Amino acid sequence: MTDLDIKRLDGAAGDAELEAWRYVHNTIIPTHHLTLDDVRERAVRNHLELAHVDGVLVGNSTVRPPEGDSATATVIARVLAGHRRLGYGEQLYERALRRARELGALVIETCVLESNEDGLRFALAHGFVEIERYRLDGDTIPWIDLRLEG
């Protein structure tokens, strides 16, 4: 398995990196397209990473840290379809999980668009269990929230 070249994106990230992160997000979640400004805002409040292999974009990740009195963090690993089942999702997930715990998370959750069968299969295989299904205003495809058990 090839190791990923990971780049942390924060409030100082350049537009090209933020656009790459946005591309992965919007490709995998076609029902919830983000603008560049949306990604800029997320880069300030969340832990975002961008993943390449040999200069080729393969995925990204998000860690939404615990807020207030909550000890719950949300961890999301996204891998573009042409790069799945090569261990990249595992690397992104492990890094994101480690970061969530460093930020004080005692409970780990994730969310997956119902139509993302690969993402749902990955989450279930990693010990997540479904806790809720819902549709955001205007959405036709439900979201699935899952919590890591154990």
Query: Cα–Cα distance between 34 and 48 in angstroms, integer?
Result: 14
Task: Name the 3-class secondary structure at 137.
Answer: coil
Residues 6+ apart with CB under 8 A from 40: 11, 18
Q: What is the pLDDT of residues 25-50, one digit of tens each?
A: 999 999 889 999 999 999 999 999 99
Where in the sequence is the domain holding 108, given as residue range(s)? 5-148
122 strand-pairing partners: none
Q: How many domains does the chain have?
A: 1
- Nearest in space to 84 (alpha carbons), one of 92, 96, 75: 92
- What's the pLDDT score for residue 118? 94
The pTM for the full model equals: 0.93
CATH number of domain containing 28: 3.40.630.30
Q: What is the pLDDT of residues 78-98, one digit of tens each?
A: 999 999 999 999 999 999 999
Task: Name the 3-class secondary structure at 97.
Answer: helix
